[in-house]
């Protein structure tokens, strides 16, 4: 039972919320620098205005609600959930002022899609967007992939409150002994891969004749969106724009890297390469890739007329499957072509998107470890009937360490899985009610809730506002994995009764 909130809770929540809004002003300085460097003078006021809003509200909250106490669990969860919503609204300001969105709601949709690493877009005329605004779209992906709160864990928060904020953002594993060290390691890995990955992508583009500055810009943006499983791209055609098979292979590699747990990255970085072979979650992920791709293949068993050959078939179908499964949302085919796939092949992508990548990664969805726990629990129950009565039944798996399967783990995993399934169905039913087909509505709903970004054409500026708002809610819930949001709802209910 969660204790009722008090006035003291409001004071502490307001203070820490002010800290996070102030930190956002620092992040907004990076696209401002890009605008100055690129001499995009019309874009400079857009970012200055957003920075001004951050500083005003951030310092105001810290002044009105001075707090000397450390933050507790329920307060931390509320701060996390509120931070994501407020960050969405403020970050949408420069996007809306760019003139490439039909409404402020559309800009908020794009902002939440970026932070939640979803990749669904409502932007207009992306191909003519300024470099600074385009960079801001991808920087939001990079920030949200590691976690907005993760910035605060390094610079702002102290004590046990750091752990409470960390878990509120949908993560539950400490890679290193304390949370600050864990946060620093995650950012170290991310920045190291950012440099290496951007250079590889830029080099690949330069081999096709792209100029050095343009290649670097596209390399950085594509890597930030790929590593953080967001799926944004600087051009409206997404990965199809590049028409480069080597470029596509590199993005597939980054998809996998982003979908793998940071704990596995730590094991590899410290020389424990056996983790790649022994990690149970990775094995479940690889097995699910094969199973879901089989669905896709069976879906096309009687119809391959839209492909020019076996190579084109594999390149298109496998890329969408991997992109969906890892939660990236990159696409090397038009969305109208994806919408024309058979029902069975679309189901394969839907299942892959719904499952998602690994826990404690930048990927969304139910996660492979939770599915693996369900399989282990079934195996444990079968053993109860086979083994003699009174025998001690245990199931283990390896996930950075040997873990004993217990009922609490299984109940938690099943509870979150049920929440995800209900969230998937809610968007599908709403889409069907609004006149879209059930399967396309389910596809789009799973893509939003599991933070993927693949689309069969429903997501557009012309879709009903209620669907835009619901997709924003789904992206928010899917990224934070419900707990922080449920506690925030209780916070508002408690305030309403007083």
Residue 192 domain-assigned? yes
Give the mean model confidence (pLDDT) for residues 223-237: 90
Tell me what pLDDT residue 428 has: 96
DSSP-derived letter for residue 412 is H
Distance CA(20)–CA(29), nearest Å, equals 15
* Contact present, 24 and 54 (Cβ < 8 Å): yes
Give the mean model confidence (pLDDT) for residues 39-46: 95
Residue 153 domain-assigned? yes
Most distant CA pair in the chain, distance: 77
| Tokens matching residue 152 | 């605060």
Backbone angles phi, psi at 402, to 5 degrees: -75, 125
Tell me what pLDDT residue 167 has: 60
Distance CA(201)–CA(250), nearest Å, equals 7
Which has the closest alpha carbon to 356: 426, 421, 309, 409?
A: 421
Interior/surface letters 328-340, b for 16+ CB within 10 angstroms, e for the rest: bbbbbbebeebee
* Angle made by CA atoms 494, 482, 267, in degrees to the nearest 5: 135
Residue 220 domain-assigned? yes
Most confident listed range (119-133, 301-315, 323-337, 403-417): 119-133
Range of the domain at 50: 7-259
Distance CA(8)–CA(65), nearest Å, equals 9
Runs of H (alpha helix) within 116-147 = 131-146
Confidence check: pLDDT of 168 > 60: no
Those residues with Cβ within 8 angstroms of residue 58's Cβ, 6 or more apart along the chain or in another chain: 18, 19, 20, 21, 22, 23, 24, 25
For the CA atoms of 345, 346, 349, 354, the dihedral, rounded to the nearest 10 degrees, stands at -140
Confidence check: pLDDT of 2 > 60: no
Distance CA(243)–CA(246), nearest Å, equals 9
Give the mean model confidence (pLDDT) for residues 464-479: 95
Q: Percent of the chain having pLDDT more than 70?
A: 89
Helix, strand, coil % in the chain, rounded to nearest 5 = 70, 0, 30
Q: Beta-strand (E) ranges in 282-408?
A: 396-398, 402-404
Which has the closest alpha carbon to 232: 117, 340, 384?
A: 117
What is the average pLDDT score of the chain? 86
Q: Is 39 left (phi over 0), alpha (psi -120 to 50) or beta?
A: left
Residue 371 domain-assigned? no
Tell me what pLDDT residue 378 has: 85
What is the reported pTM?
A: 0.92
Using one digit for the tens of pLDDT, what is the confidence trace for 84-128? Answer: 999 999 999 999 999 999 999 999 999 999 999 898 999 999 999
Confidence check: pLDDT of 162 > 80: no
Confidence check: pLDDT of 145 > 70: yes
465-480 and 483-497 helices, crossing angle to 10°: 110
Backbone angles phi, psi at 133, to 5 degrees: -70, -40
Q: Beta-strand (E) ranges in 385-462?
A: 396-398, 402-404
CA-atom Rg of the chain in angstroms: 22
Instruction: Please count the structural domains in the chain.
Output: 1
* β-bridge partners, 404: 396
Distance CA(467)–CA(169), nearest Å, equals 24
Residue 303 domain-assigned? no
| Tokens matching residue 9 | 């809770």
> Beta-carbon neighbour count of residue 317 at 10 Å?
22
Confidence check: pLDDT of 469 > 90: yes
Residue 289 domain-assigned? no
Backbone angles phi, psi at 210, to 5 degrees: -75, 140
Q: What is each CA distance from 40 to 47, 96, 107, 276, 470, in whole angstroms?
A: 11, 16, 20, 46, 34
């Amino acid at each position: 039972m969660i204790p009722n909130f008090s006035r003291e809770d409001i004071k502490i929540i307001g203070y820490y919320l002010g800290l996070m809004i102030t930190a956002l002003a620092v992040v907004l300085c990076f696209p401002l620098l890009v605008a100055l460097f690129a001499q995009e003078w019309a874009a400079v006021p857009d970012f200055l205005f957003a920075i001004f809003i951050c500083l005003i509200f951030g310092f105001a909250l810290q002044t009105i609600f001075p707090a000397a106490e450390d933050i507790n669990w329920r307060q931390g969860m509320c701060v996390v959930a509120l931070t994501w919503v407020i960050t969405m609204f403020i970050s949408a300001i420069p996007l809306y002022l760019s003139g490439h969105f039909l409404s402020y709601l559309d800009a908020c949709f794009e902002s939440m899609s970026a932070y939640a690493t979803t990749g669904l877009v409502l932007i207009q005329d992306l191909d003519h967007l300024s470099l600074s605004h385009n960079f801001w779209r991808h920087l939001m992906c990079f920030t949200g992939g590691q976690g907005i709160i993760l910035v605060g864990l390094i610079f702002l928060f102290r004590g046990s409150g750091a752990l409470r904020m960390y878990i509120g953002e949908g993560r539950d594993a400490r890679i290193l002994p304390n949370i600050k060290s864990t946060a620093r390691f995650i950012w170290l890995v991310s920045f190291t891969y950012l440099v290496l990955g951007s250079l590889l992508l830029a080099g690949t583009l330069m081999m096709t004749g792209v100029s050095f500055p343009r290649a670097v810009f596209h390399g950085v943006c594509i890597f930030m969106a790929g590593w953080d499983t967001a799926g944004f791209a600087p051009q409206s055609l997404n990965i199809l724009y590049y028409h480069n098979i080597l470029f596509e292979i590199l993005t597939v590699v980054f998809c996998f890297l982003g979908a793998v747990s940071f704990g596995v990255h730590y094991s590899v970085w410290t020389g424990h390469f056996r983790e790649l072979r022994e990690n149970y979650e990775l094995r479940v992920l690889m097995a699910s890739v094969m199973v879901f791709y089989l669905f896709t293949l069976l879906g096309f068993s009687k119809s391959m007329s839209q492909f020019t050959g076996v190579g084109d078939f594999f390149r298109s179908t496998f890329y969408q499957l991997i992109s969906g499964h890892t939660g990236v949302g990159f696409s090397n085919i038009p969305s109208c072509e994806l919408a024309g796939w058979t029902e069975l092949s679309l189901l394969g992508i839907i299942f892959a998107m719904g499952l998602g990548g690994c826990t404690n990664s930048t990927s969304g969805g139910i996660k492979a470890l939770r599915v693996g726990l369900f399989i282990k629990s079934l195996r444990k129950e079968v053993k109860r009937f086979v083994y003699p009565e009174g025998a001690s039944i245990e199931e283990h798996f390896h996930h950075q360490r040997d873990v004993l399967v217990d009922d609490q783990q299984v109940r938690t995993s099943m509870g979150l899985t049920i929440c995800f399934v209900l969230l998937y169905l809610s968007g599908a039913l709403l889409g069907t009610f609004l006149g879209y087909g059930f399967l396309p509505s389910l596809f789009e709903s799973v893509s939003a809730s599991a933070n993927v970004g693949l689309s069969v054409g429903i997501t557009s500026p012309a879709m009903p506002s209620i669907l835009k708002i619901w997709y924003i809610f789904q992206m928010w819930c899917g990224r934070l994995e419900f707990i922080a949001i449920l506690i925030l709802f209780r916070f508002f209910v408690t305030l309403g009764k007083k």
